[in-house]
Amino acid sequence: AASHTNAIACSGVTVEFDGFVALNDVALDVPAGKTVALIGPNGAGKTTLLNAISGRVPMKSGRVELWGDDITRLPVAGRTRRGLGRSFQIINLFQEMTTFENLRVAAQPPRFNLQPFWRPVNRWSELGDRAREVAAVVGLSDVLDMPVATLSHGRQRAVELGLALMADPRVLLLDEPLAGVGHNEIASTMELIERVRENRTVLLVEHNMEVVMKLSDEIVVMMGGEVLMRGTPAEVRNDERVKRAYLGD
């Protein structure tokens, strides 16, 4: 139901890789309309949690709900159809292809298995129309025909955001949306994220603490596959455990 208070609700999520426990009994709620950031040292399990929510890693146990519906057993495409979008790091994937081609490919389920398009639209020309629409939203209309490799890091992140937006998701999982972005483009990339998250719920992983503090309504600190604490940016910044375990590095 659209009025549900949590867009995402996970509980008891455990993920193991060859006996290594990457996530240990993790619970996480993402309130509707909010932006929640996952932080924590490398290997804490942040990306694995995004993958568990989007259906890209098998869970040993646990439950994932989207708007109160149990989606634990839904494959990636089924979650996408229900409005869950995930950004992809395309930096090494489609460098020779243009912005336009990258966006159009993202909407093609069978061949690349990236971001299956939830709308009953599969005609090539309609996908092209959607690609142009999304390019305008993320400010890339002027580089539609440029190979992604020739774009700045900030604009490559905008392409990634565009890929995630092709299916117009209400809930957006973003994996390091500012990775590699230089100082001169941080402000514009943050503005883009702020624009894109209007009317959406966002769960993001990001290492740039300044960005995390500014963008997030709430921050969840992870360590060793578990949630260490959760709080507002001010609460997290002032938490002694967090300072010791992470921020004080």
Positions in the binding site for ligand ADP (CB under 6 A): 17, 22, 40, 42-48
Work out how close the CB of 207 gets to ligand ADP at its nearest, in angstroms, rounded to a whole number.
9
Which CB, 40 or 116, lies closer to ligand ADP? 40
Work out how close the CB of 38 gets to ligand ADP at its nearest, in angstroms, rounded to a whole number.
8
Which CB, 15 or 140, lies closer to ligand ADP? 15
Which CB, 206 or 239, lies closer to ligand ADP? 206
**Cβ atoms of 8 and 200 closer than 8 Å:** no
Work out how close the CB of 48 gets to ligand ADP at its nearest, in angstroms, rounded to a whole number.
3
Which CB, 53 or 105, lies closer to ligand ADP? 53
Work out how close the CB of 212 gets to ligand ADP at its nearest, in angstroms, rounded to a whole number.
14
Work out how close the CB of 204 gets to ligand ADP at its nearest, in angstroms, rounded to a whole number.
12
Rounded to whole angstroms, the Cα distance separating 186 from 156 reads: 13
Which CB, 106 or 221, lies closer to ligand ADP? 221
